[in-house]
Amino acid sequence: MSHPERLLSIAQTANLLGTTERFPRRLVAERRIAFVKVGRHVRIPQSAVTEFIAARTVQPITNRRTNQRRAA
């Protein structure tokens, strides 16, 4: 039997992202992150937060030539 996905409150989402509550509220208002309405409450699936972070993660530059040109 599989467990249902964990739904996070706005406060929990903000804590996970390291932001104030205003930021995840804005993400929801602008429909930039998936969310679930439970009555009047808004809950954000933990997988949506993980996907949001992954989609905005910038990888470091690993090409040494590029780094050397910038240093010059």
pLDDT of residue 1: 65
Q: What is the pLDDT of residue 57?
A: 95
Residue 37 has pLDDT above 90, yes or no: yes
The pLDDT of residue 71 is 60
pLDDT(46) > 90: yes
Q: Residue 3: which pLDDT band, with cuts at 50, 70 and 90?
A: confident
Dihedral (Cα; 20, 52, 3, 13), 10-degree rounding: 0
pTM recorded for the entire structure: 0.77
Using CA atoms of 56, 57, 62, 68 in order, give the dihedral in degrees to the nearest 10: 60
C-alpha–C-alpha distance, residues 10 and 38, integer Å: 13
The residue among 68 and 57 whose pLDDT is bigger is 57
